[in-house]
Structure 1
Amino acid sequence: MNIRLSLLWRTLILLTIFVVLSQITVYFWIKRSVTDHFEVMDSEMLTHAAFNLRKSTYGIEHSSEYLNPIYNNKKGLGYGVQVFGFTSDGQAIASDSQIAVGNQTARDNQSDFRAFNLESYGKDSINILDLMSEHGDKQFELQLDNRPYRSVIITSNNQIYLLALPIDVHHLYLHQFSLQLKVILVAMTLLLLFIAAFSVYWGFSPLTTFIQKMKTINSEQLGERITVADMPSELRPLAESYNIMMSKLEDNFESLSRYSDNIAHELRTPIATLSTQTQVMLSKPRQISEYIEQLHHQHETLEHLSEVTNNMLLLAKTQKGLSQEQLKDVDMESLITQLIEYYELLADDRGINLVKSGEFAVIKGDKSLLQRLFSNLISNAIYYSKNDSTIKISAGVTDQSQLNIVIENQTAQPMTQKEASRLFERFYRQANDQDSKAEGTSYSGTGLGLSIVKSIVKAHRGTVTALVEDNWIKISVKLPLPK
């Protein structure tokens, strides 16, 4: 079973590993630094004692004369350094440990230096030659009677001397210091983890705001927003994105609601008409001519329903986007020219002139959808243009590598920019006074023509806009050019 830890626990675990490794590193570094410090101090003490010992014994030839200079210069050795003397062949001849530790009692009665042994230090003898062979003149640690010493071997006047500095006090201090350091570092680690846990919990607390907002989302409360100013700087982009997402969701939901209402209205009216007409015709026997006339009316209604259904299917198709297999080279100049020739007769009936100008280009797209796109735009321009006017179709390439095709026409009635911005909404119809201004002609579509235009343009990764200027409306379609 795959168990995923919470973000809080994952953060704490990673932080714990990092802190523990850091504290272990700090512990050994501090311990090593203190140990090195004591070793340097001990080394300096032994070096100083060895120098004084050499100076004190310089010029003494007989072992029986060896002790007096050491005793007379005991303060020069100092630091509790103990001295052991040996002949050149390794025989112990003297020990002046009392002098070395600073004892003020002189050892006047000691005369048999060769009888000296190391029983008081837990050893029968010291093989000084082996120690010299192993360590030379370098300092080393030596255990005497379970007491640690830092030692060094020197030679002077054909005599061998072992200088031993007790370091048990240092070892005790290091042991106590190590324990205290461990306690301090463990306490610091626990404190850091507690602070980190609190910080992570407090830092993630704004996320509860998102959770609470998301739990309250439903179709009736899509207007809930998060106050960006109350969020920390790291979460403000997330809050802004959430608000943008909710705004789009609210707009889409409202659009879907209007779309559903419009579909229901568009389908309900003709279906109700068909049902009523059928009931009326079945209420009593009628003439064959009446049945035929009624069938014609029903056929027109069914064609309208079929057109609405086909347009809705086309909208659903284009909203899914286009695959690479659907994208082919389309010569837009040839396509526009064919459409102008097709609608030229219809435009002539209204005295409308279709004029094409500008620089067209070849784009990647679905030819049938592009034909439907500009067919809808040109037919709309003809039906809603003023009689005896001109429809201008111009093209040009923008700096953004887009083909911009603009269709301009003079409207039969005034239109505001607000109305123009709604032209691409589904089932939106612009009121037209053609009854009085165009010799009684009128046009009634499904209200989906320009919605299909917008959907096709979007499927081709383009944009479409409508701009009103002095009773002229400009529909601008921008389509990307192939790279």
Structure 2
Amino acid sequence: MRRLSLGSRLALLFAACTATVSLVAGVVFNRASEAHFIELDQQLLESKLINVRQTLLSGSDAAHITEELSQQGDVSLRISGPEGQRWFGRSLQMPANLPQSPGLATINDNGTDYRLLNAPLQPEQPDSAQLTLLLDITHHQHFLQRMQHLIWLTVGLSALATALLGAWAARSGLRPLRRMSAVARGISAQSLNARLPEAQMPAELTELAHSFNAMLGRLDDSFQRLSAFSADIAHELRTPLSNLLTHTQVTLTRPRPLEDYREALHSNLEELQWMAQLVNDMLYLAKADHGLLMPKREPLKLAEEADALLEFFAPLAEDAQVSLSRDGQGLFEGDRAMLRRALSNLLDNALRFTPPAGDVRVQIAEQAKSLRVTVENSGEGISSELLPRLFDRFYRADPARQEGSSEHAGLGLAITQSIIRAHGGQIHCESAQGWTRFVIELPQND
């Protein structure tokens, strides 16, 4: 079965609520009217009872009693003896088998409703005659029946009117959702810049519209990054492939000595090794994007790991006349190979951009709930506009980058960020006052 729309559900809900309220109000009014008529009838019968008692106790005859009752044409009287024998009756249609219990009662005889009041003529005497007053209340019942019909008619019309008005109100109120649906239907790779007008949204939908726009912004940014990533892959692979083709074609143009072929193969091998490394790095990042990087957990002394890396880079730093140092220490449970790769990328990056006589420092500090590792280098800073893009794939802040460089493809910082995130940490870059520092925040193990 087809599901009801939200507007139809709201309309039916409004109609049900209105019908329920109208029905309850009608029933309450009907019960109140019925109780009011019972009270009026009781007052009337009790007043007639007093008059009949006074008339009978004063010694008046039956003719006087009949005249007294004739002033109230719908009231009948029966006088019975102590044993129930009938002494007097003033009624052309007095029902048979009337109740004998004292007090007020309601009876029905042949479709006619009566209000009956039984009372002794002389309450202080146990063998007193019994008086029975009977009041025809058919006109009251007709009024109550008309009232009930009116209640049901009002309930039905109210429910119908509320359903129609509720449908209109729901349709009008849900217009922003239809607008949101229209925007969602129109979204494609070429129209990710569409946004919902948050200022025109109701208060209840403002947060939803804001979240929807934020989602579109993230999708747009991810798509732009993916497009740039695809273009960068083609850009990075184009030059080495072109070099391989050109070099191979030139080598094959004529017969050459064996040494020339060996040199050509060696040159091609370098290009192929760089391409293989590039593909491996891209596969590594793809695994990181899908949460497939599962670091091992082993206790590590970060000071010892940093010292080992500094010792590895010492010859390169000595050639570049750059000073290396490490300060602080800390314990962390993580994957040694992955963390060494991350720190190695940062140190390699720092050495490349540190001028002669500059410094590269590694600082380790244990904090309350985290471990802070900083790799900083002196030299020309990075503008604040470029800092958010440093961890983008294939991005190189150096404007003098060489196309198809087989040395640096611009994936090191992206891989470093993936490794840190796989360990539950965060990394960011700061650059000010002649120092550029990469700050790693790792969660401290309990």
Q: TM-score, normalised by structure 2?
A: 0.89
**Worse-superposed segment, 283-292 or 19-28:** 19-28
How does 1:72-111 map onto structure 2 within 5 Å?
80-97=74-91
- 2:62 pairs with one of 42, 61, 67: 67
Say if 1:122 and 1:144, in contact at 8 Å, map to a contact too.
Answer: no
Say if 2:102 and 2:118, in contact at 8 Å, map to a contact too.
Answer: yes
Say if 1:335 and 1:371, in contact at 8 Å, map to a contact too.
Answer: yes
SS in 1 for 2:445: coil
1:207 paired residue number: 177
How does 1:261-276 map onto structure 2 within 5 Å?
261-276=231-246
Q: Matched residues in 2 for 1:67 and 1:329: separation?
A: 119
Q: Which amino acid aligns with 1:455?
A: S
- 2:93 pairs with one of 118, 121, 143: 121
Uncovered stretches (5+) of structure 2, i.e. residues with no partner: 123-127
- 1:460 pairs with one of 423, 439, 444: 423
1:429 paired residue number: 396
2:344 paired residue number: 375
| Per-residue deviation, 1:74 | 5.4
Say if 2:119 and 2:130, in contact at 8 Å, map to a contact too.
Answer: yes
Q: Matched residues in 2 for 1:328 and 1:351: separation?
A: 35
Q: Which amino acid aligns with 1:343?
A: F
Q: Matched residues in 2 for 1:286 and 1:14: separation?
A: 90
| Per-residue deviation, 1:207 | 1.8
1:101 paired residue number: none
Say if 1:425 and 1:451, in contact at 8 Å, map to a contact too.
Answer: yes
Q: Does 1:407 align with 2:375?
A: yes
SS in 2 for 1:417: coil
Say if 1:121 and 1:144, in contact at 8 Å, map to a contact too.
Answer: no
Say if 2:295 and 2:335, in contact at 8 Å, map to a contact too.
Answer: no
**Worse-superposed segment, 311-320 or 454-463:** 454-463
- 1:416 pairs with one of 369, 383, 403: 383
How does 1:250-399 map onto structure 2 within 5 Å?
250-321=220-291, 326-363=296-333, 365-398=334-367
| Per-residue deviation, 1:360 | 2.1
| Per-residue deviation, 1:243 | 0.9
- 2:114 pairs with one of 119, 136, 149: 149
Q: Matched residues in 2 for 1:328 and 1:42: separation?
A: 95
Higher relative contact order (CA closer than 8 Å, sequence separation 6+): 2
- 1:227 pairs with one of 162, 187, 197: 197
| Per-residue deviation, 1:279 | 0.4
Q: Does 1:29 align with 2:1?
A: no
Task: Provide the alpha-carbon RMSD of the alignment.
Answer: 2.8
Q: Matched residues in 1 for 2:85 and 2:151: separation?
A: 46
- Structure with higher Rg: it is 1
Q: Matched residues in 2 for 1:281 and 1:429: separation?
A: 34
Q: Matched residues in 2 for 1:396 and 1:377: separation?
A: 17
Say if 2:19 and 2:155, in contact at 8 Å, map to a contact too.
Answer: no
Q: Which amino acid aligns with 2:113?
A: P
Q: Deviations over 1:134-169 (max 9, x none)?
A: xx2221123456532101111124211111121111
Q: Matched residues in 1 for 2:295 and 2:272: separation?
A: 34
Q: Matched residues in 2 for 1:301 and 1:357: separation?
A: 39
Q: Residue 334 and residue 55 in structure 1: after superposition, are their counterparts in 2 closer, same or farther (change >3 A)?
A: farther
2:125 paired residue number: none
Identical-pair percentage: 27
Q: Matched residues in 2 for 1:421 and 1:14: separation?
A: 51
Q: Deviations over 1:218-265 (max 9, x none)?
A: 222221111101111111112111111111111111111111111001
Say if 1:122 and 1:145, in contact at 8 Å, map to a contact too.
Answer: no
Q: Residue 57 and residue 395 in structure 1: after superposition, are their counterparts in 2 closer, same or farther (change >3 A)?
A: farther
Q: Matched residues in 2 for 1:21 and 1:338: separation?
A: 80
**Worse-superposed segment, 340-349 or 168-177:** 340-349
Q: Deviations over 1:350-408 (max 9, x none)?
A: 33332222352324x43322221111111211222122322221123456x23221111
Equivalent residue pairs, number? 438
| Per-residue deviation, 1:273 | 0.3
| Per-residue deviation, 1:270 | 0.2
**Worse-superposed segment, 188-197 or 138-147:** 138-147
SS in 2 for 1:376: helix
Q: Residue 347 and residue 246 in structure 1: after superposition, are their counterparts in 2 closer, same or farther (change >3 A)?
A: same
Q: Residue 432 and residue 347 in structure 1: after superposition, are their counterparts in 2 closer, same or farther (change >3 A)?
A: farther
Say if 1:308 and 1:446, in contact at 8 Å, map to a contact too.
Answer: yes
Q: Does 1:240 align with 2:180?
A: no
Q: Matched residues in 1 for 2:366 and 2:43: separation?
A: 88
Q: Residue 153 and residue 422 in structure 1: after superposition, are their counterparts in 2 closer, same or farther (change >3 A)?
A: closer
Q: Residue 153 and residue 414 in structure 1: after superposition, are their counterparts in 2 closer, same or farther (change >3 A)?
A: closer
